[in-house]
Amino acid sequence: MKRLIIGTRGSDLALWQANFIKDKLTAIGVEAELKIIKTQGDKILNLRLDKLEGKGFFTKELEEELLGGTIDIAVHSHKDLPTVHPAGLTIAAVTEREDPSELLLILKDCVSVSHKLSLKKGAMVGTSSNRRKAQLLAIRPDLNIEDLRGNVPTRIQKLRDEDYDAIVIAKAGVNRLNIDLSEFHVEVIDTTDVVPAPAQGALAIQIRENDSELFEVLQKIHHQETADEIGVERKVLNLFEGGCHMPLGCYCKKEDGQYEVWTSKAETNEDFPDRLFYRVDSLDGLAEKIVAKFSADRKFPSKVFISREVSEHNYFRKALEKHHIEIDARSLIRTFPIVTVLDPFYLKHVDWIFFSSRNSVEYFFKLKPTLTKHVKFGVAGKGSEDSLRKLGHLADYVGEGGDIDEVANLFAEMVVGKTVLFPRAQDSLLSIQKALKPETKVVDLPIYETVIEEDVDRTEAEVLIFTSPSNVEAYFVDNLLEPGQQVIAIGNSTAKVFDEMGVKYILPYAPDEISLAEAVFGIEIK
């Protein structure tokens, strides 16, 4: 095959990406050289991206040279490409996806770990992405989001110059450029908190449609699983008729043979986004199903019951109230401390403290423990993480998803040979402890007990959310499900109770506020 010419933008990241593809081609015996091409997005730096005319402002000039025959390949960040290709061009291959998470880089004197995302109240955050702005404001409405343009090093320099308190950039770009971020506090924003742009982290190799020989060659560096995943994301974007400036996030990943897909969509960059999560065996027809859920004329439940208190500024409350859904929030259990003074013995030689619930965090710190600096914290989920943050502590391990067995096994691998303290409820199921290796020492500390309320009133809500096995037990002592009522179970242990009862339920991705909102949004009301 002839020596190929690869067209690329001239930024550090674009050059890294083009050289990455060049090296991949060299490995399969194909020689190539680079040609740098300036795009509209590179030339106009004083306007927000959504103010630039048309679509493809980082890709159009490369595509024109490709059609004109002056280059053979154009390498793009896949998320920059319009969903409709110019006639005569095609995406011949995509690379395996880099981590699509976002990074929040924070000036160290602007850090406040007691707040979500570790940002001080009212912090100024730089990003020109409408998608990021809408989702960040949903989590932290107090933030001031300001426009930020430029390539990755330029953006980081603007933070260094203190033009902002923090900036948001894609983790993939930082990983590829191997940038030293030690001068900043770095917060990784999980894809379940801020849903990435469609195809974020993947590279697209674009060629002329009639270049069949090159197409066949490029199949040797094509990653089909990534292509399948980003295919559904970009189809969702296409069906919404959106471009890169639409406040839309869509992320698909394959996990244990199934596809997990998150979607976040807002009308504007200041609108509270709607969220949706699917776990499916096949991607066939999924994009159409996702888009249909965001239809303006769909019906929502008029009332949702949840078996715990929901604060005024809670994400879940805001997500439901946006659609005028009434919330019946009341815990069906009460908790009481069973330890009032903490024996220093429990803290001797402890390496880790693991909290399986918000209550365990709150009751433990009410005992005013004296902790050594080297102690690390593990939590079962984001609810416990938030409670820990409010007390000024960051979790070193946060269980992801609602599968407590998976959370337990991952934590067990981290603490082999260590000493772990477990402040817990007296009737705890001990799921984490049972997964630990024999060489890990357990310090057991029951600190509170749970008592079930009597004479629990029935709810007329169409959707019932149960947050623990004890709440399930309390409700069904005197009540039955009414026809048409649907159940959401938080976590595997709660779900297991419904399995034993023979009751159908929905299991959110994780036992946190965003996942609960996703579960309610996904329910069909006839």
**pTM of the full predicted structure?**
0.92
What is the structure's pLDDT at 402? 72
Question: Is 180 a catalytic site residue?
Answer: no
In a 3-state reduction of DSSP, which class is residue 187? strand
Contact in structure between 26 and 1 (CB atoms under 8 Å) = no
Q: Per the structure block, which two tokens stand in for 293?
A: 């859920």
Check 72, 80, 165, 193 and give the catalytic one: 80
For 15, the token pair is 């050059």
Q: Are 76 and 203 in contact (CB under 8 A)?
A: yes
DSSP annotation string for 261-285? EEEEE-SSTTSPPEEEEEEES--TT
**pLDDT, position 52:** 43
Q: Tell me if residue 66 falls in helix, strand or coil.
A: helix
DSSP track, 327-369: EEE--SEEEEES-SS--GGGGTT--EEEESSHHHHHHHHHT--
What is the pLDDT, as a whole number, of residue 54?
Answer: 40
Task: Print pLDDT tens along the chain (526 aa).
Answer: 789 999 999 889 999 999 999 999 999 999 999 999 987 655 444 444 444 444 455 788 899 999 999 999 999 999 988 888 899 999 999 999 999 999 999 999 999 999 999 999 999 999 989 999 999 999 999 999 999 988 899 999 999 999 999 999 999 999 999 999 999 999 999 999 999 999 999 999 999 999 999 999 999 999 999 999 999 999 999 999 876 678 999 999 999 899 999 999 999 999 999 999 999 999 999 999 999 999 888 899 999 999 999 998 899 999 999 999 999 999 999 999 999 999 888 898 999 999 999 999 999 999 999 998 899 999 999 889 999 999 999 999 999 877 888 899 999 999 999 999 999 999 888 999 999 999 999 999 999 999 999 999 999 999 999 999 999 999 999 999 999 999 999 988 899 999 999 999 999 999 899 999 999 999 988 7
Q: Are 185 and 118 in contact (CB under 8 A)?
A: yes
Rounded Cα gap, residues 41 and 136, in angstroms: 24
Query: Distance of CA 463 to CAs 303, 306, 317, 326, 456, Å?
Result: 7, 9, 14, 11, 17
Query: Is the CB of residue 306 less than 8 Å from the CB of residue 465?
Result: yes
3-state secondary structure of 251: strand
Q: How many angstroms separate the CA atoms of 159 and 344, rounded? A: 44
Per-residue DSSP letter, 197: P
